[in-house]
């Protein structure tokens, strides 16, 4: 998993309903034709449903929802495994490797083969396309394979890495696979139930964890000393347990639809995990299927969103505060400067709220589009036009 930090360091890489009785509820509304619904008179919440079909009584609760999702979805979740040969140098005096074993003459080198499960992915097409995180398959010198089901192995023949988001699409030479159903992450609500399936700790395949959506529209900076950092906007926060090895795995809603791709977990707190919204993934998949690669528009700024509260305290407008302008980027060519605050894009006001951050809007445009940005600079508002380009 990757390591992340956003104000506090974060670390990369996710409720059983209470069934009340009639006595506790103090009453119920009964429909003899359809079944029996037990309804809390104070909250109006349905705690348990008993449906009578053909003389049989079926208990429908949160547990059965989760087990149904798991039974249907597990066949579409894969384990990603790495295969690589490292060169290990022996001690120049004693001929030992770092583990103290004698493997040759002093100063010699030996090959060390590594094969292990490292992450998770999920199938998106019958003909062998699989989604995972880019950081799971970051080593371009290694070979990868996926394990479908319990022990069916498929070699990865191509890897397509997204240069902007922490996403990758793997291609395996296998057909007849069962793809997942993709949901709509724009319709998510805080508090709704989510289910994660993945290879926890790179050891326990098809591990199931459950929780709720804790927050939406979060912004994190994800990274590690080995892989660098990457800013991820508009991510989903959840308390479902995400562990190293869960990276790249699906986050399901209670309908069995994938609504996120598990990507990070906080090292500074408990039960704080993050997932990329599936709508971002769907855009990437659409671009990939039409072009064969992850071509998306590129602006070329590093920024922090200024919240409404921070804007009021500092007497500046809310928007995207430019921390860095990438050399040679469309933004630099158009005259964007460090410390500018981008307040609007094509008439759409920017803020730190869901779907109004800068990168979210840019990702809805196409390469070659010209956008109009309103910028706050030196206590004045100016207008700049930028032609979006393909990232080189």
Catalytic sites, residue numbers: 135, 166, 247
Report the candidate in 49, 11, 2, 14 with the shortest Cα–Cα distance to residue 252: 14
Written in H, E and C, the secondary structure of the chain is CCEEEECEEEEECCCCCCCCCHHHHCCCEEECCCEEEEECCCCCCEEEEEEEECCEEEEECHHHHHHHHHHHHHHHEEEEEEEEEEEEECCCCCCECCCCCECCCCCCEEEEEEEEEEEEEEECCCCCEEEECHHHHCCCCCEEEEEECCCEEEEEEEEEECCCCCCEEEEECCCCCCCCEECCHHHCCCCCEEEEEEEECCCEEEEEEEEEEEEEEEEEEEEECCCEEEEEEEEEEECCCCCCCCCCCEEEECCCEEEEEEEEECCCCCCCEEEEEHHHHHHHHHHHHHHCCCCCEECCEEEEEECHHHHHHHCCCCEEEEEEECCCCHHHHHCCCCCCEEEEECCEECCCCCCCCHHHHHCCCCCCCEEEEEEEECCEEEEEEEECEECC
Q: Are 34 and 23 in contact (CB under 8 A)?
A: no
């Amino acid at each position: 998993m990757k390591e992340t930090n956003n104000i506090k360091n974060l670390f990369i890489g996710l409720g059983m309903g209470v069934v009340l009785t009639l006595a506790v509820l103090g009453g119920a509304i009964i429909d003899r034709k359809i079944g029996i619904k037990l309804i809390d008179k104070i909250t109006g919440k349905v705690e348990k449903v008993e449906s009578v079909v053909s003389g049989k009584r079926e208990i429908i609760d949160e547990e059965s929802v989760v087990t149904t999702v798991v039974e249907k979805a597990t066949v579409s979740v894969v384990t990603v495994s790495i295969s690589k040969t490292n060169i290990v140098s022996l001690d120049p005096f004693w001929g030992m490797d770092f583990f103290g074993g004698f493997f040759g003459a002093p100063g010699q080198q030996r090959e060390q083969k590594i094969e292990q499960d490292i992450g998770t992915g999920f199938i998106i097409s019958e003909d062998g396309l699989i989604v995972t995180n880019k950081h799971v398959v970051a080593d371009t010198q290694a070979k990868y394979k996926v394990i479908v089901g319990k022990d069916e192995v498929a070699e990865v023949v191509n890897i397509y890495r997204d240069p902007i988001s922490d996403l990758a699409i793997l291609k395996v030479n296998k057909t007849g696979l069962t793809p997942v159903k993709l949901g709509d992450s724009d319709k998510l609500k805080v508090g709704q139930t989510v289910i994660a399936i993945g290879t926890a700790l790179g050891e326990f395949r098809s591990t199931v964890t459950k929780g709720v959506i804790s927050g939406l529209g979060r912004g994190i900076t994800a990274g590690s000393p080995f892989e660098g950092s990457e800013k991820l906007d508009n991510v989903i926060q959840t308390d479902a347990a995400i562990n190293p090895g869960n990276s790249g795995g699906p986050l399901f809603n209670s309908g069995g639809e994938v609504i996120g791709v598990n990507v990070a977990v906080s090292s500074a707190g408990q039960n704080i995990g993050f997932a990329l919204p599936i709508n971002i993934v769907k855009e990437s998949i659409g671009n990939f299927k039409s072009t064969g690669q992850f071509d998306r528009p590129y602006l070329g700024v590093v920024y922090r969103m200024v919240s409404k509260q921070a804007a009021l305290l500092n007497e500046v407008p809310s928007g995207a505060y430019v921390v860095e302008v990438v050399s040679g980027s469309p933004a630099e060519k158009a005259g964007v400067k460090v410390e500018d605050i981008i307040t609007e894009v094509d008439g759409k006001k920017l803020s730190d709220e869901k779907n109004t951050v800068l990168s979210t809007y840019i990702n809805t445009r196409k390469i070659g589009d010209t956008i109009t940005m309103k910028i706050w600079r030196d206590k004045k508002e100016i207008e700049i036009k930028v032609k979006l380009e393909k990232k080189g």
